[in-house]
Amino acid sequence: MAPPLLILQDIHLHLGTTPLLTGATLSVGAGDRVALVGRNGSGKSTLLRVAAGEIQPENGTRFLQPGATLRTLPQEPGFGGVRTVWEHVESGLGPADDPYRARWLLEQLGLTGEEEPGRLSGGEARRAALARALAPSPDILLLDEPTNHLDLPAIAWLEQELAAFRGALVLISHDRRFLERLSRAMVWLDRGLTRRLEQGFAGFEAWRDQVLEEEETAAHKLDRKIVREEHWMRYGVTARRKRNMRRVGELAALRQRRRETLKAAGTVRMAATEAEGSGTVVTQADQVTKAFGEGPVVRDFSTRILRRDRVGIVGPNGAGKTTLLNLLTGALAPDAGEVRLGTGLHMVTLDQKRESLDPAISLQAALTGGSGDQVEVAGQRRHVVGYMKDFLFVPDQARTAVGVLSGGERGRLMLARALARPSNLLVLDEPTNDLDLETLDLLEELLAEYPGTVLVVSHDRDFLDRVCTSVIVAEGDGRWQEYAGGYSDMVTQRGRGVEAKVAEAPKPAAAPKPAVPVALAPAARKRMTFKQQHALETLPGRMAALEKEIATLRTALAAPDLYSRDRARFDRFSAALAEKEAALAAAEEEWLELELLREEMEAG
């Protein structure tokens, strides 16, 4: 068995006077797929930074195999004063790294490299940081929340890229579907210590629940005094998961109602809707169109959203999700068609950027507005500490400054502020960003019990499956279609998921007369991609290098006494020879296919 590439042993670290890591361990071998999970504020990002060598622990050891390469994707990437995205990506390349791969990655991620970092959106900044981390093809790749701010097509592309990645992978993510598809081992960071499960995420939550139940039983047997708030935060996980079964049944009933509503939508007239009971209809759109510039963002869209519906809006970045959301809530007037809002609506919005918080104020002041220790929730006065506990904060954090909270804790605080306001319509734009799995469970439970209506924009497929009664998806060219059920239901009905937005070619002012024979048109339209051209140029050199390495290995293995003198070296050379021969065969096959493709295009 090969030795691990990276070992963290007995890592100790304090955050101020609070112990954060109290004996954490982590071992990463070649080809490992490890997911690091734990509550927000438990130290996941800190442990990843210790693994990267960016933070020195107070106690413990870090070992990185000599010669092993390691790259990181931080949760909040910085650009260090570079002028363009390409300079940022290029700065992460080593002398032996291929700049063509970096260019290809930027192309795949929808960037040119000429963008200025200061003008990037959150999603563009994340894609630039991903290109910088992936371009060198390192032995170990550490990713902290890689799907944050990415749209569904980018997440699907990243899944494929990481599935084909040959190095070791350690990732932190709240995206259950992403973890299920990529992880083969789980490391759970809890109260400063780590536990490891040699299974993927699919088996993690049941295993975690079993560990917590056994721990709770042992605590009762030993007659320990467990602080009530901590007990609820820790062991309430299993209770919430059991309540999820009831929630699944209720969601199925709501989806069935939504399915019947959509079937009848084609025959319902505006007059019939007006006759319904006050407050039943939240918003109704009839043949709504909205355009910016030349093309429509929303074209002839109709829907009727009723009280208690949970409607998800999905599509690639730039499809117009926010525009559609603003039309449905009355924040934006349509160019054509009509939007009618229901009576007595009280809307609360949580946008993607979150409203600003003063980092110097305390958590209590952020919830109460700086006045007293009471917060009004659903028309009732509650003590702020009791309300904090609903969002997995402990009483000691009431005086904690907002500036020292983790990204996930800030996300929880924003949710607590939004849900404390009186409302019967919640509009949530990317609410799952930076939230841990336990907080996602809590948010799903809160939304299930919310008596009003929810409109949500999200790229988290599992969250959409667990919450939504219907999903509105961008079909392209300004067309939107609503499907009953969650994201997976939409994929089943539609036959495909969300695709990347394709830029439309500019339309000529007038159809010009052809300047070349019509027979040349197909060849002009059909070209080899940048990646194919680069591979065709570089494969001969790669094959020649592999042939030299194979010849060297064969010469070494031909030594008559090698097997008896050094069995380990013989085995190592034999394995390397088999690997090089397989690589040569694959390279030759790829070169032949590309050469045939080139000849076909030239002949066409």
3-state SS of 194-220 is: EEEECCCHHHHHHHHHHHHHHHHHHHH
Query: Domain 6-216, what architecture?
Result: 3-Layer(aba) Sandwich (3.40)
To the nearest whole percent, how much of the chain has pLDDT over 90?
Answer: 37
To the nearest whole percent, how much of the chain has pLDDT over 70?
Answer: 84
On the question of pLDDT at 517 being above 50, the answer is no
Whether the pTM exceeds 0.85: the reply is no
The pLDDT of residue 133: 94
Residue range(s) of every CATH 3.40.50.300 domain in the chain: 6-216, 255-346+423-494
The pLDDT of residue 379: 67
On the question of pLDDT at 482 being above 70, the answer is yes
Is 67 strand, coil or helix? coil
Q: How many CA atoms lie within 13 A of 460 on its CB side?
A: 27
pLDDT in tens, 341-398: 988 888 888 765 555 577 888 888 888 887 788 887 766 788 888 888 878 788 888 8
Inter-residue contact 208 to 188 (CB < 8 Å): yes
Q: How many CA atoms lie within 13 A of 425 on its CB side?
A: 22
User: Alpha helix locations (H) across 53-98?
Assistant: 85-90
On the question of pLDDT at 340 being above 50, the answer is yes
CA-wise closest residue to 208 among 184, 232, 187, 182: 187
- CA gap 262, 9 in Å, rounded: 57
Inter-residue contact 286 to 436 (CB < 8 Å): no
Q: Please name the helix (run of DSSP H) or strand (run of DSSP E) that holds residue 313, with its range, or none.
A: strand 310-314
On the question of pLDDT at 285 being above 70, the answer is yes
- CA gap 153, 546 in Å, rounded: 36
On the question of pLDDT at 273 being above 70, the answer is no
Rounded to the nearest 10 degrees, what angle do helices 122-134 and 99-108 cross at? 150
3-state helix, strand, coil in the chain (%, to 5): 45, 20, 35
On the question of pLDDT at 271 being above 70, the answer is no
pLDDT in tens, 524-560: 334 667 677 778 888 888 888 888 888 888 778 777 7
- CA gap 325, 436 in Å, rounded: 26
On the question of pLDDT at 512 being above 50, the answer is no
Looking at CATH, the fold of the domain delimited by 524-603 is given as Helix Hairpins (1.10.287)
What contacts 97, CB < 8 A, 6 or more positions away? Answer: 135, 136, 137
The pLDDT of residue 602: 66
The pLDDT of residue 244: 60
Rounded to the nearest 10 degrees, what angle do helices 437-449 and 228-264 cross at? 50
Residue range(s) of every CATH 1.10.287.380 domain in the chain: 524-603
Q: Please name the helix (run of DSSP H) or strand (run of DSSP E) that holds residue 525, with its range, or none.
A: helix 521-525
By the 10 Å C-beta count (0-12 exposed, 13-18 middle, 19+ buried), 163 is classed as: exposed
Q: Which two structure tokens, joined as six digits, stand for 164?
A: 């084909």
Looking at CATH, the fold of the domain delimited by 255-346+423-494 is given as Rossmann fold (3.40.50)
